Amino acid sequence: MTPISASLSTPYWRIGLDLMGSDTSPDSLLNAVLDGKTAFLPFQITCFVQKKFYPACRALLKKSASKNIFLKSCSHYISQEDDPLKALVEKEDSTTRVGVFMLKNQELDAFISLGSTGALIGASTLFLKKIPLIKRPMLVAKLPSKKGSIYISDVGGNASPRTSNIVQSAFLAAAYASYDNPEKKIRLGLLNIGSEGHKGSPFHRDAFIEIKAIFKDNEKVEFVGNVEPNVAFSGKVDALASDGVTGNIFLKTAEGMSDFIFDVISATKDGKSRCVSSELTSMFDYSEYPGAIVGGVEELVIKCHGYSTSKSIGHTLFKAKELLQGQFINKYKKMILNWKV
Amino acid sequence: MTPISASLSTPYWRIGLDLMGSDTSPDSLLNAVLDGKTAFLPFQITCFVQKKFYPACRALLKKSASKNIFLKSCSHYISQEDDPLKALVEKEDSTTRVGVFMLKNQELDAFISLGSTGALIGASTLFLKKIPLIKRPMLVAKLPSKKGSIYISDVGGNASPRTSNIVQSAFLAAAYASYDNPEKKIRLGLLNIGSEGHKGSPFHRDAFIEIKAIFKDNEKVEFVGNVEPNVAFSGKVDALASDGVTGNIFLKTAEGMSDFIFDVISATKDGKSRCVSSELTSMFDYSEYPGAIVGGVEELVIKCHGYSTSKSIGHTLFKAKELLQGQFINKYKKMILNWKV
């Protein structure tokens, strides 16, 4: 993860950006990247596109006279309809696979994907070094809460969770919260359908017992037990462990509800502009949030929203820079290994 | 379900209201009922309380001089910590069990509980007649959406769902939506982590195939496939099938997010009163929503929020009256049996 020009006063981070597989065409996404380019100065951004989109993207790039954005053309990409693991095997020259390999080979410092979550997590799991203890890497997201932020893992939609995955999600969420709040004792909860210890699936009940034992008398993390989604934003909890389905439903419902409320507010006769400040609107605009990290691998991999705008790509790139500068991966790994029982 | 005084011009519905097992004390809840009593005139309300709360409740009732509210004292109640099924067997004289039995014996027209969801569904399943085809009764909720309402089942937190439960949840949600919108072709979706047909657990994939086959060429219901929570409120879908965990997480996250946003808005310097109309606030105030019905039994059973206020109890009572007057249970049953394959 050494920047290519460490001799420059500003580190020059090499970021891979997979523009394939989202709801938006890669040239529109490239436009979004170019729109915000001034914000990205300390980056060398390699944009991954499928061959057939290369000419259009090339023309856009030429017109922009951008110096720090490059294109990488691949034969394939992995779509939302593909079986991720099968596609990773069959589509060797696909944007996600090539990007993750470049990260593995130290040709990139971070890789950001706007496409298939399954393919990104699959490629990270198969090809990158994993943090010991984490068997199955997963998505860790940071969301707003009444008193700052809440960190939640797994939000990636792993549809067959085991107890061990849920326990590992506790490590990954708590470590991200702790990285951002080094002075704070992190209150970690288990996202569940009820607050009582016996609630949820057998996996949840077993994970509850294991997580409680692991963080007993821990100086940095306090396990507060099961947390229901209606109190998750209250500020009473900083990090949430969950299985992939529960976390994914939680994240997407929060996004949908926020979108719904601000849509209704903006349609009222006063109008959003006078009624609710743009600052407030941004706070709940999920497209302005940086993407979720793939927790559990020893490289920086980020999943950006599929419907990303220049704002959300910009925020994600900015977050990548912050995490690289802060040596996130090293600190994150160290914390998790410390908690190992 | 005949009103006791069918000869009166206004039907006089006999409602059972279980005040035990919520976060609020039964006497506070009784106060909430008494506060709103003018709205409840066509009711004879029997409030179920545990013996030790009877004197305090009795005193409150005396002071109010209310004519249509009665108390029923029971030895026990089923708490959130109890194993619902075990408690239903062991606590014969518990408020939930006694109330459901009175409903079964036609001594009540509807039963509303503010306590344990598991106990309410358990008692309904064990003691009431089930609609043929529905093996496992479940909670069906009605929530606001951009274009009216969305009906979702199961929101009750059944932690070990099977394919058949998810398929039955489709019947229950679609029938409730159809009852409220008799002229409309109901767009039914399956709540899932992705929009593609192969997404979710094996149960979800199998349920997808079954639901698709059942509603093929149906005049009243169109199955639109998997629906992700972030588009559930868009108005593109009217009813959602789901397993109990996914639905429960969806409902509680929507509630938590809504609460969070309006809390932040009210804390801004303009203040909520000038900024967002009370009408708008009510639209998203989940405590003002009527409770969820226990779908699949041939009696009217409703679960009201545990943190219920006089408003939410009032709305739930009003909803019960509407459903009784509209002969909901009969029509609901007929619709579901029509769809049987």
pLDDT in tens, A46-68: 999 999 999 999 999 999 878 88
DSSP tally for chain B: helices H, then strands E? 12, 11
Distance from first CA to last CA of chain A, Å, rounded?
29
Over residues B323-333, mean pLDDT: 95
Distances (CA, A) of B198 to A22, A86, A268, A328, B160: 18, 14, 39, 35, 20
Q: What residues 259-278 of chain A have any CB closer than 8 A to a CB of chain B?
A: 259-261, 263-265, 268, 270, 275-277
A80 contacts on B by Cβ (under 8 Å) = 194-196
Instruction: Give the residue from A7, A17, A1, A22 showing the smallest Cα distance to A68.
Output: A17
B231 contacts on A by Cβ (under 8 Å) = 256
Q: What residues 66-85 of chain A have any CB closer than 8 A to a CB of chain B?
A: 80-81, 83
Q: Confidence band (pLDDT; 50, 70, 90) for A222?
A: very high
CATH 3.40.718.10 is held by the domain B1-133+296-326: yes
Is the pLDDT at A312 greater than 90? The verdict is no
Q: What is the pLDDT of residues B248-275, one digit of tens each?
A: 999 999 999 988 888 887 776 555 445 6
pLDDT of residue B12: 84
Distance from the Cα of B158 to chain A's closest Cα (Å) equals 8
A291 touches chain B (CB under 8 A): no
Q: Is A216 exposed, middle or buried (0-12, 13-18, 19+ CB in 10 A)?
A: exposed
**Pairing mode of beta strands A110-113, A300-303:** parallel
Domain A138-288 maps to which CATH number in 3.40.390.10, 2.40.50.360, 3.40.718.10, 3.50.50.60? 3.40.718.10
Q: Confidence band (pLDDT; 50, 70, 90) for B339?
A: confident
Residue of A nearest to B286 (CA): A230
Which backbone phi and psi does A265 adopt, to 5 degrees? Answer: -60, -45
Over residues B72-80, mean pLDDT: 96
Cβ-Cβ contacts under 8 Å for A66 (sequence gap 6 or more): A34, A37
Helix (H, G, I), strand (E, B) or coil at A240: strand
Return the half-sphere exposure (C-beta side, CA atoms, 13 A cut-off) of residue B259.
18
Distance from the Cα of B231 to chain A's closest Cα (Å) equals 6
What average pLDDT does the structure give for chain B? 88
pLDDT of residue A12: 84
Is the model more confident about A7 or about A19? A19
Is the pLDDT at A272 greater than 60? The verdict is no
Residue identified by tokens 């290519």 is A4
pLDDT of residue B198: 83
Is the pLDDT at A285 greater than 80? The verdict is no
Q: What is the pLDDT of residues A187-209, one digit of tens each?
A: 999 999 988 888 888 999 999 99
C-alpha triplet A321, A325, A331: angle, nearest 5°? 115
Alpha helical stretches, state H, A159-301? 163-180, 202-214, 244-267, 271-275, 278-283
Q: At what angle do helices A328-339 and A310-325 cross, to 10 degrees?
A: 70
Cβ-Cβ contacts under 8 Å for B105 (sequence gap 6 or more): none
Ramachandran assignment for B124, one of left (phi > 0), alpha (psi -120 to 50 degrees), beta (any other): alpha
Over residues A152-170, mean pLDDT: 91
pLDDT of residue B341: 60
Of the ranges A318-327, B138-147, B332-341, which one carries the lowest mean pLDDT score?
B332-341
Please judge whether A245 and B248 are an interchain contact, meaning their C-beta atoms are less than 8 angstroms apart. no
The CATH class of A1-131+296-326 is alpha beta
pLDDT of residue A245: 92
Is the CB of residue A47 less than 8 Å from the CB of residue A17?
yes
A157 contacts on B by Cβ (under 8 Å) = 193-194, 199
Q: Locate the domains of chain B by residue range.
A: 1-133+296-326, 138-288
R_g (Cα) of chain A, nearest Å: 20
H or E element in which residue A60 lies: helix A54-64
A338 touches chain B (CB under 8 A): no
Ramachandran assignment for A273, one of left (phi > 0), alpha (psi -120 to 50 degrees), beta (any other): alpha
Q: Confidence band (pLDDT; 50, 70, 90) for B213?
A: very high
Distance from the Cα of A161 to chain B's closest Cα (Å) equals 10
- Single-letter amino acid, residue A227: V
Is the pLDDT at B41 greater than 90? The verdict is no
pLDDT of residue A262: 83
B89 touches chain A (CB under 8 A): no
What average pLDDT does the structure give for chain A? 88
Residue identified by tokens 């990104």 is A120
Instruction: In whole angstroms, give the CA distance from residue A55 to residue A60.
Output: 9
Q: Confidence band (pLDDT; 50, 70, 90) for A341?
A: low
Is the pLDDT at A330 greater than 90? The verdict is yes
pLDDT of residue B6: 38
Please judge whether B260 and A146 are an interchain contact, meaning their C-beta atoms are less than 8 angstroms apart. yes
pLDDT of residue B137: 95
Instruction: In whole angstroms, give the CA distance from residue A104 to residue A173.
Output: 24
A254 contacts on B by Cβ (under 8 Å) = 253, 256-257
Is the pLDDT at A71 greater than 80? The verdict is yes
B232 touches chain A (CB under 8 A): yes
Which of A81, A261, A303 is most worth mutating to test chain B (most B CB atoms within 10 A of its CB)?
A: A261
Q: Do domains A1-131+296-326 and A138-288 have the same CATH topology?
A: yes
Pick from B83, B196, B230: CB nearest A256: B230
Instruction: Give the residue from B253, B296, B283 showing the smallest Cα distance to B154.
Output: B296
Ramachandran assignment for A150, one of left (phi > 0), alpha (psi -120 to 50 degrees), beta (any other): beta
Instruction: In whole angstroms, give the CA distance from residue A120 to residue A117.
Output: 5
Is the CB of residue B103 less than 8 Å from the CB of residue B16?
yes
Task: Please count the other Cβ atoms lying within 10 Å of the Cβ belonging to residue B182.
Answer: 9
pLDDT of residue A1: 41
pLDDT of residue A67: 83
Instruction: In whole angstroms, give the CA distance from residue B104 to residue B120.
Output: 13
Instruction: In whole angstroms, give the CA distance from residue A100 to residue A95.
Output: 9
Please judge whether B228 and A252 are an interchain contact, meaning their C-beta atoms are less than 8 angstroms apart. yes
pLDDT of residue A198: 83
Alpha helical stretches, state H, B181-243? 202-214
A231 touches chain B (CB under 8 A): yes
Of the ranges A304-318, B40-54, B216-230, B239-253, which one carries the lowest mean pLDDT score?
A304-318
